[in-house]
Amino acid sequence: MQLIECPWCGPREEVEFHYGGQAHVPYPDAPAEVSDEEWAHYVFFRDNTKGRFAERWCHSAGCRRWFNAIRDTATYRFESVHRLDAPQPHATELARSRRSTAP
């Protein structure tokens, strides 16, 4: 049973958390103006990274706050967790995540 560090509540067992998939995939500003293909990428496509990955988690059985994390998908180790109101580090990963959802 892995421990996940909630930025508010501290380490808790993983069963208290809900996985939210890849982080930093923003809702398009004007969905009506994007092409079908761009929209499909937003809806259906996510990275499948081996290694460090920026993703979203929610402490659903605790404070119910969403947060971002950098996790290694090969080892499951969390490198860091970030409150949504905190500056998000690892700009490169995040930029890459964001780019990758574009067609």
Binding region for other proteins (CB under 8 A):
1-3, 8-13, 15-16, 18, 20, 26-28, 30-32, 34, 36, 39-40, 42-44, 56, 58, 60-66, 76, 84-85
CB of 99 to other proteins, least distance (A): 19
CB of 1 to other proteins, least distance (A): 5
Q: How far, in Å, CA of 37 to CA of 79, rounded?
A: 33
**Residues composing the chain:** 103
CB of 60 to other proteins, least distance (A): 7
Q: How far, in Å, CA of 4 to CA of 16, rounded?
A: 9
Of the two residues 13 and 102, which places its CB atom closer to other proteins in the complex? 13
Of the two residues 12 and 52, which places its CB atom closer to other proteins in the complex? 12
CB of 65 to other proteins, least distance (A): 6
Of the two residues 43 and 91, which places its CB atom closer to other proteins in the complex? 43
Q: How far, in Å, CA of 98 to CA of 62, rounded?
A: 29
**63, 9 contact by CB (below 8 A):** yes
Dihedral (CA of 17, 50, 90, 43) sign = negative
